[in-house]
Structure 1
Amino acid sequence: MSLWQVRDVPFKFQLSDWTLSEASIRMQQRSIGLAEAEDPEAIAIPGKDQLAPGSQGFALRRQPIKEALPRLARTGPFLRYVPLQYQHCYIDLNTSFEEYQKKFSSKTRSTINRKIRKYTEHCNGTLKWHSYRKPDEVQAFFELARAVSKLTYQEKLLDAGLPDTPEFMERARALAAEGKMRAYILFDGERPVSYLYCPVQDEVAIYAFLGYDPSYMHLSVGTVLQWLALEEMFNEGGLRYFDFTEGQSDHKRLFATHQRQCAHVFLVRPTLRNAAILRGHAMMDEFSGWLGRVLDRYGVKAKVRRLLRGHG
């Protein structure tokens, strides 16, 4: 089976979380897994002779890199576009939960424990949560998690909530049947307030979907559920890593035990259309970053972001 999937790769022209327009380029796409990234030298960079019919290039996600790359450059027969460079965060699960906790400072451990106590007190002394791993539990998980996902800004603004298509649920059932699904719900009484969905690939739990009811943000329910889920993963054994996938955030940096410099690297045929999309996307991204810095300088960035996300 080929590691590459031919698909239309979207390029969203955004101001912060607000998508103004979108264009796509048909490419061969693949993601570099954590286990594969342990030997970066073994990851072959494709050449022009490997282009599939109709493909305009290659999209390598989570490509390990040794140093920062220019955003747009010519390399051989391709335009190389690097829209995202980041520290790939992950957790080594090949130890005990007790050992894992030692990575945190005493102040951070105290803060996490205080958040758990605070939420437990909010729930009248009973911390209720549940893990879902079996095929006959998939339906219940999705009904509860979707009730939360509908409330999140990811779904309202970015169309990036937990999918509810029959195909996605069937895939989840197939994973559960193979012992390759980890899913979790945190409750307030009978009300679901946060969810975490992690498919498992090559003994790596993948941080695929996390969401929480925004009215519970002050109770840090996402952090509480993440901590409970990790404790269970450490204690069950059999998992090598917890993969936070692409991008950076304070949440990922807080929980990660390791970071690796990675990038999304697109190698694209230098046609006029492709060059226009890539250059336009780069310019829009730079403008969005500049605007964010200006808003931050005047102390209104957080307020504008809350407005965009519908939190008022």
Structure 2
Amino acid sequence: MVEPGGGARLVSLRFQIGARTLFSIPRRLERVAVSLDEAVAGKVPKVPRLAGSQDGFLITSLPEMLVGEVVGRGFFYAVRQRYTRYYATFEDLRYDQWLAGLSGNARSGLRRKQKKLAQHADGMMIRSFRLPDEMAEFHALARPVAIVTYQERLMGMGLPNGPEFVAEMRALAAEDRARAWLMTLGGRAIAYLWCSAEGYALRYDYVGHDPAYSELSPGTVLHAAAFEELFAEQRFKRFDFTEGEGQHKRQFATDGVACVDLLLLRDTVANRAAVGAVEAFDRAVDVAKRLAERPAFATLARRGRRA
């Protein structure tokens, strides 16, 4: 469905090896983000009309089965990545039932981690926050943890700083659309989780823990405690683990939707050339990775580094 458009932003088509970007090709794209509620319902997203200066759309978390529904005349598409959008459902389910649904290894591992933290000499405590004034307090306590997390140091995705974000947290809390949890040891904050609501789903927005306490798995234990509260509360239907995959998401989720991030571009020579170049580069990187895993090539690589 096409609707009057909003604002486009400059998005780069990146030539990447792992997390490292070698160079990029800029394109002016309108971002269309599919919510979890829409993805679960299999609802075709509303795609706005393009302004004359725009190159196309970046549609994120589009259910793979709907790709054909959004591609219109004059456009071509390219899949940037495929993944399962994991989520946990709270409807008609109790915490103990969710816990029983984990694999045996995951369940025993979680109980072992919970026991280890509960018996820690410094004394572990978990606090939850949901009111506007509580959100301001949570932010002040969690930011020192965010500063040392790998999310902030490597990706710039720790809990945001500044009065604007605190105001947003307070506003969402005033609408009962935010939840937060903090873990402390000996009065010192070591892990946090902050979530905002979109529709019927609570979203996995910002999470982190102090790496000095990684061996205690504070993030996993904190998330399980948050789930226990959310199952009891029954305010939200689902917990949205958002885009991307990971062991923690797979373990804690009850369901998932096969999704893609889709580039939907004007069918021009320049756009096709840009996408083709990125896809060819990605294929070359994949081939190089597979070759590097072969013993003969690994030996040659080691010899080359020593030369």
- Pairs aligned (count): 291
Give the counterpart letter for 1:129 in structure 2. Answer: I
Check the 8 A contact 2:30/2:58 in 1, yes or no. yes
Check the 8 A contact 1:4/1:29 in 2, yes or no. no
Which structure has the greater CA radius of gyration?
2
Look up the match of 1:237: 234
CA shift in 2, pair 1:139/1:87, >3 Å: same
Q: How far 1:5 moved relative to its partner?
A: 4.9
Q: How far 1:255 moved relative to its partner?
A: 0.3
Alignment of 1:65-104 (within 5 A): 65-66=64-65, 76-94=73-91, 95-104=93-102
Distance 1:97 1:91 in 2: 11
CA shift in 2, pair 1:44/1:172, >3 Å: closer
Q: How far 1:296 moved relative to its partner?
A: 5.7
Look up the match of 1:117: 115
Give the counterpart letter for 1:176 in structure 2. Answer: A
Look up the match of 1:16: 18
Q: CA RMSD in A?
A: 2.8
CA shift in 2, pair 1:284/1:251, >3 Å: farther
- Corresponding position: 1:193 with 2:194: no
CA shift in 2, pair 1:285/1:68, >3 Å: farther
Distance 1:139 1:238 in 2: 22
Check the 8 A contact 2:37/2:200 in 1, yes or no. no
Distance 2:177 2:272 in 1: 40
Instruction: Identify the match of residue 137 of structure 1 among 122, 134, 137.
Output: 134
Q: Percent identity?
A: 33
CA shift in 2, pair 1:24/1:135, >3 Å: farther
Q: What are the ranges of 5 or more consecutive residues in structure 1 without an aligned counterpart?
A: 299-312
- Corresponding position: 1:32 with 2:34: yes
Q: What are the ranges of 5 or more consecutive residues in structure 2 without an aligned counterpart?
A: 296-307
Per the normalisation by structure 1, the TM-score is 0.83
Check the 8 A contact 1:16/1:288 in 2, yes or no. no
Q: How far 1:288 moved relative to its partner?
A: 4.5
Check the 8 A contact 1:13/1:285 in 2, yes or no. yes
Distance 2:116 2:188 in 1: 17
CA shift in 2, pair 1:79/1:240, >3 Å: same
Check the 8 A contact 1:17/1:158 in 2, yes or no. no
Distance 1:108 1:196 in 2: 20
Check the 8 A contact 1:8/1:26 in 2, yes or no. yes
Look up the match of 1:310: none
Give the counterpart letter for 2:57 in structure 1. Answer: F
